[in-house]
Amino acid sequence: MRVVTAAEMREMDRCATAEYAIPSLVLMENAGLKVYECVRAVLGDPAGKLVVVLIGKGNNGGDGLVAARHLFQHGARVKVILDGDAGAVTGDAGANLEIWRRLGQRLYLLQDRNAIQVLQIALMQADVVVDGLYGTGFKGEIRDRARRAVEAVNESGKPVVAIDIPSGVEADTGAVRGAAIRADHTVCFGLPKVGLVLEPGAGRVGKLHVVDISLPRPLLEDEGGRHLLTGSLVRSWLPLRGRETHKGAYGHVLVVAGARGMLGAACLAAQAAAKSGAGLVTLAVPRSLQEAAAGFRAELMTMGLPETGAGTLSRAAREQIEDFLGRAAVLALGPGLSTHSETVELVRELLPGVRVPSVLDADGLNAAPENPAEWFRAGREEGGPPLVITPHPGEMARLMGVRAVEIQADRLGAAEWAAGAWNCTVALKGARTLVAAPGGTTYINPTGNPGMATGGTGDVLTGMVAGLLAQGLAPERAAGAAVFLHGRAGDLAAAEHGQVSMLAGDVLEKITAAFLDVEG
C-alpha cells in the first residue's frame, strides 16, 4: 500500500478537482460520511448517544462537521466544539458550518471562558469523541486551550475516532512534540500518510481504516515512492515452486560468520536462511568451531576457515571464501565475526571483490571504514551484484558519522539518504523497520514487537534476507519480505512466550508459521 506525504496528498486532492472535475465539496462529503460510518461501528445505533466532535478551522474540521450532521440526522446528540473563530472557517468547511447552523445546532468555541469545563462535563457523558482539530498540515506543538482539550480527551478514557490523522502527530514524520490525541480508530482518506505508520505517531493511531472517498484510481496507483508492507504484497513477491524442481533452483547461501564465544549468531543466521527457502546453506566458521557448528542443524553444510589465535577468521580465509563464492548464489557476512583487527581487514578486503548478491550485518558493518560510501559502492557502480545492509540505529549512526539520536529523529530520511549515497538496499532496523532501495522505493514494515529487542534476532533477519535473495528476489523485495515475515514470526513468538521471555530462537522457530500465515 502506497504511503504519502501531506504535500503528495494535497496534490492528489487538487488533481481530483482540476483534472477529474470532482468538486472538493463532494470529497469532503464522502470523507465525513466515512467518519460517520466508523463512529457508527463503534457506537452501534447512534440514536440518543452523545458524541463530542472537536474541530479546527481547516478541512479536517469540515470533515468533522459532515460527520456531525450525519450523526445528528440519525438521532445522536452531538456537541461540536471549534478551536478558533467561526468567521475563520471558510471554503468547503465554511459551507458545512453554515449547514450545521441552519439545522439549528449550536457551535461551542474552545476560546470561550468556560469551554474547557464544558468539554470536561461533556466528556463525562460522551459515548465517543471525534477528533478533527488538526489535519495533515499540522507541525510543531499543540498549545494553550487546544492542548488542554487534547489532554482532557486522553484522560477521559472515552473511545476516540480521529479524522485522517490524530491531532498533534506530524503527517510527514510521525513526530509528536507535545500533547497528541491517542485515538482508538483513525479514518484515513485515500492513502495512509507517512506519520501514521512511523513511530511515535503510529502508536497514537489505534486501528487504521484507509477508506475510499472517490479519489480517481490513477492518482492512487503510482508504483514508486513509499509503501506500507502488507501480507498480500509480500505474498505476491514470494516465488512459486513448480512440481518439477530441485534444490539447485533455490540458490546456495554461504554464511561467513562466527567467532569464539559468538557461534550462536552464525548458526541462527544460517538456519534462518534455510528456513526461508534457500536450496542449500553452507556455514563457514573458524576451523576450530566447525565441529560445533555442524551439530546445530543436520541440514546445514559447514566449512572450516583459517583462524587467528583468538578464534576469529584470519585474512588467510579470503582465498577459500572467494573460491567457494564461485559456486554460491548469495553471501551473508557478519553475524558474530568479532572486531578482531585481522578479521576486520579480511572483511574490508573481501567485500569489494564479491560478485554475488550480499547481505552485510553486525560485525560486517562494524568493519566498514570511516566514510564508507566508496567501500559500499565498489563493484556495484555499473550493474554489479546488489548489496543489502541491515544496521540497527547505533550501527547506522556510526556509518553516517552522527549520533544515534539523530538517526532516530529522522529514520526515514537517514535510510533513504544512505541507500542513494551508498548504492545499496538499506534495512534500518527498529520499531517500524524501513527498507530503502537506491532507486527511490521505500518500504515501511508494520510487524514486530518490543520482545524482539533481544540478542540474535538481527542474525535471524540476516539469514532470512539471504535466503530470499538466493531464490531470485530483487534486493528491496528480499529485504522487504524478510523484515515483514521476521516481524510476523516475532509476533507469533510473543503470543506464545510473551515479550519478556521470548528469545531469538523462538523467532527462528516461528518462521515456518509466518510463511504459512502470509501464503494463506
Burial class (CB in 10 A: 0-12, 13-18, 19+), 449: middle
Region 156-171 average pLDDT: 98
- Partners of 81 in the β-ladder: 54, 108
- Confidence label for 283 from pLDDT (cuts 50, 70 and 90): very high
Task: Give per-residue pLDDT as tens, 390-420.
Answer: 999 999 999 999 999 999 999 999 999 999 9
Residue 166: per-residue pLDDT: 98
For residue 371, give the DSSP letter: S
> Which helix (DSSP H) or strand (DSSP E) does residue 60 occupy?
helix 59-73
Q: What would the pLDDT profile of 52-108 be if each residue is shown by its tens digit? A: 999 999 999 999 999 999 999 999 999 999 999 999 999 999 999 999 999 999 999
**Paired strand residues for 190:** none
The span from the CA of 393 to the CA of 199, in Å, is 14
Reported in sequence order, the residue ranges of 56-184 that DSSP labels E, i.e. its strands, are 77-82, 107-109, 128-132, 160-163
Distance CA 354, CA 346 (A): 12
Mean pLDDT on 282-310:
96
| Residue pLDDT, tens place only, 19-50 | 999 999 999 999 999 999 999 999 999 999 99
Grid cell digits, residue 287: 576451523
Q: Which residue has the cell 516481524?
A: 487
User: What is the number of alpha carbons within 13 Å of residue 479 lying toward its C-beta?
Assistant: 31
Q: Sorting pLDDT into bands at 50, 70 and 90, what band is 293? A: very high
Rounded percentage of the chain residues whose pLDDT exceeds 70:
100
All structural domains of the chain: 2-222 (3.40.50.10260), 231-239+246-368+383-519 (3.40.1190.20)
Query: Could you report the per-residue pLDDT of 189-239, keeping only the tens digit for each?
Result: 999 999 999 999 999 999 999 999 999 999 998 767 999 999 999 999 999
**Cα 313 from Cα 205, distance rounded (Å):** 47
State yes or no: pLDDT of 380 exceeds 90: no
Closest Cα partner for 272 from 22, 478, 499?
478
Q: Give the model's pLDDT for residue 450.
A: 97
3-state secondary structure of 493: helix
> At residue 299, does pLDDT exceed 70?
yes
pLDDT in tens, 93-141: 999 999 999 999 999 999 998 999 999 999 999 999 999 999 999 999 9
What are 231-261's pLDDT values in tens digits?
A: 999 999 999 888 889 999 999 999 999 999 9
pLDDT of residue 131: 98
Asked whether residue 431 carries a pLDDT value surpassing 90, the answer given is: yes
pLDDT of amino acid 222: 72
Residue 351, CA distances (Å) to 290, 387, 437 in order: 23, 10, 19
Average pLDDT across the chain, whole number: 96
End-to-end alpha-carbon separation of the chain, Å? 19
Once rounded to an integer, what is the mean pLDDT over residues 315-342? 97
- What local confidence, expressed as pLDDT, does residue 223 receive? 67
DSSP state of 223: -
Residues with Cβ within 8 Å of 358's Cβ and at least 6 positions away in sequence, in order, are 330, 331, 332, 333, 351, 385, 386, 387, 388
User: In this predicted structure, what is the pLDDT of residue 1?
Assistant: 87
pLDDT of residue 381: 73
Cell 517500524 locates to 432
pTM of the entire predicted model: 0.93
